[in-house]
Amino acid sequence: MSEGTVKIKLISSPIGSPEKHKRIVRAIGLHKMNQVVVKPDTPGFRGMAKKVPHLLKVVE
């Protein structure tokens, strides 16, 4: 992992979650369970991950 990036993993299904949580998960780019995406380590992506900590895991 290069400097300035963060790995985000979908650990729980957004089914049954509020629509707002589902939109956050899709905006990050996650579609399948246990999928990992690499995003820039910006306050925006960190904030999105903090909104749904029960669905996502930040992999360091």
Q: Which domains does the chain have, with CATH numbers?
A: 5-59 (3.30.1390.20)
Q: How confident is the model at residue 48 (pLDDT cuts 50, 70, 90)?
A: very high
What is the distance between the alpha carbons of residues 52 and 11, in angstroms, rounded to a whole number?
11
Residue 53 has a pLDDT of 96
Residue 24 has a pLDDT of 97
Helical ranges in the chain per DSSP H: 19-28, 43-51
Residue 8's CB is within 10 A of a number of other CB atoms, namely 22
User: Model confidence over 8-44: pLDDT tens digits?
Assistant: 999 999 999 999 999 999 999 999 999 999 999 999 9
What proportions of the chain, in percent to the nearest 5, are helix, strand and coil?
A: 30, 25, 45
Does pLDDT of 3 surpass 80?
A: no
